[in-house]
Chains A and B, each alone.
Chain A
Amino acid sequence: MTAAAESPLVRVEDVTKIYHLGAPDEVRAVRGISMTVSRGEVLVIEGPSGSGKTSLLTIIGCMSRPTSGQVLVGDRRVSRLSETALTSIRRETFGFIFQHLHLIPDLTVKDNVMLPLFPTRMTVPEMEDRVDRAIRSMRIDHRRSARAGRISGGEQQRTAIARALVNEPTIVIADEPTAHLDSELSAELLDILAELNRAGTTIIFATHDPRVIEHPIVSRRLVVRDGIIVEKTSP
């Protein structure tokens, strides 16, 4: 293995995240967490709601900046980057699957999947090509012109995954992906992600759903409670 492959994709060092700092409603969501994300792994960040796992996830995913501590993506120090620079790293590295999917219901499946590509320098044919591939890999090409608000729950979920994949991210982040799904859809989602992982994509889950935690693809578990890591396991 080369040195590059061995070095972690993301390194989080002694990170805290405090909301409303100094105000009476101050919330210490993350209180000094250090961790790494390695290439190709499936990492589960486990914890009850309010434990700080979503905050940690947004910090790893370059979606918000920590109050203190360091975050490195590759060898780039990102914790103090300006929003514009941070966003461009996020666009290149991460794909997100949100708990509530967050599709725009009035837009077609195709346009929803294309959303992350608009602010890039990609040409329109390149964009179309990327979108086609993502949609086909999720097997929703027959629905590409349907509005996202008018398709079934399973199809919406696939659309959201296609959107997370359209920028060909190295890391996919899924926040409570199965929270609102029945067991059939959850299983389907996990199968899709397992397949992605076999193709080399690193996956991070934030969840407290045992169906995810006990899934065989999971390579490592971090348990977060009250903003700190209380347990680490690698099966």
Chain B
Amino acid sequence: MRRHLKILDFALASLQRRPFKNWAIIAVYAFTVAVVASVLFLTQSIRREAAQLFVGAPELTVQRMVGGRHVPIDIGVGETIAAFPSVVGVEPRFWGYTYDAVTESTITIMGAGPGMATIDLVEGRLPTRPTESAIGAGVAAMWGAEVGGEVILVDAATTGVLYEVVGTFESPSDILTNDLVVMTAEEAALFLGLPEGKATDLAVRVANDNEIDTIAAKVKRAFPDSRPITRSEVLRTYDAVFHWRSGMMLAVFSGGLIAFVILAWDKATGLSAEERREIGILKAVGWDTGDVLELKMWEGVVISSTSLILGLITAMVHVFVLGAPLLTPMLRGWSVLFPELHPTPHVDPYLLFAIGFLTVVPYVAATVAPSWKAAVTDPDEVVRG
């Protein structure tokens, strides 16, 4: 143990003696780590944010499918479902999208209902009269509207309708509320042009979590044209999508990773004459190949951990402080009103480990052979000069 620490000590000193070369490789290494870490931090925090929102979501959502398409469902269906044991309540929901030509963006319209309770209002209240609305931060910014102001939207009949703003939403619910305009349920149905007695879908509350799947099966049996979706399914789908997105981005960046590995190889192979001579001296004064290999290994450990720490800090600042400005374009989906990201700083040890594994392992593997090559210098070569 003692011997290992002494060699570590020597490795530290020897790295300090070649600051330029080592900082150059640390800079590139840390950049690679920062890229990988930014992708993972960002997708992780979006997943978490989404998952938090679903905490208050209904256990079961029932939609109607016709020809493989989602169509409005009879509100009467809800009454039948409400009679099932364990079902606490059924709420018809009215929501949809509208395109706003002025701001060239798609806006989500939603009728106020009990499900809204989990969404935090930053200011004001939810609408109670047909002429009132509450809007998300993105919509507010685009219209320059605050509480007390007005927004004009074009409804299903292409008539412009004026709404008084009585409340605004803010993060952390940003991801779902950014492009949102909430009206009273009746007004939303009207605005979206839903037929009388129809809702977009039904939110079913179930008292016992273990019963959710059973009730979903019952709904499917009672209404064969319905599609019951459980909350956990939605979460799973979100998870899979975000895993896929982060994996995809990493795959895109793997080119960069390979470039980095080549650089590491090159730096490790291209020993200067001075370094070569130094290793020769060490061997001549009584270091054996194993000792020199250990020296090289410690150098790798120091460089890796320094780069890892610097890269992780960079990624945290990039994602959690600056809101990942360099990555959001790639995550942006269909919506122009993509939320401003303010990911909550949260770092999972598993994630750190995965980042370390993705970056350190290729580096170490790339430097094995060059280190060995340097370490087997014959001590008597030095004596011969």
Using a CB–CB cutoff of 8 Å, the interface residues on chain A facing chain B are 54-55, 57-58, 63-64, 83-84, 87-88, 90-91, 96, 98-100, 102-104, 106-107, 111, 115-124, 127, 163, 167, 175
Contact = CB atoms under 8 A, between A and B. Distances in A.
Q: Which 9 A-B pairs have the closest CB atoms?
A: A87-B288, A91-B286, A119-B291, A58-B380, A64-B380, A116-B286, A116-B285, A106-B17, A102-B281
Contacts of B382: 98, 102
Given A90-B286, A115-B281, A118-B287, 8 more contacts: A54-B383, A54-B384, A57-B383, A87-B287, A107-B17, A116-B285, A116-B286, A119-B288
B286 A58 contact: no
A88 B103 CA distance: 79
B6 A124 contact: yes
Given A102-B382, A104-B278, A104-B281, A84 B290 contact: yes
Contacts, number: 78
B57 to A, nearest CB: 61
A123 B285 CA distance: 18
Contacts of A118: 3, 6-7, 9-10, 287, 291
Interface of B: 2-3, 6-7, 9-10, 13, 17, 278, 280-282, 284-291, 378-380, 382-385
A119 B3 contact: yes
B385 A99 contact: yes
A87 B285 CA distance: 9
Nearest to A106: B17
Given A83-B288, A116-B286, A100 B380 contact: no
A233 to B, nearest CB: 25
Contact of B284 (A55, A57, A63, A111): A63
A124 B3 CA distance: 10
A58 B290 CA distance: 20
Nearest to B285: A116
Contacts of A103: 281
Contacts of B379: 58, 63-64
21 contacts: A57-B383, A58-B379, A58-B383, A63-B379, A64-B379, A64-B380, A84-B289, A87-B287, A96-B284, A96-B383, A99-B383, A102-B280, A102-B284, A104-B281, A107-B17, A111-B13, A115-B286, A119-B286, A119-B288, A124-B2, A124-B6
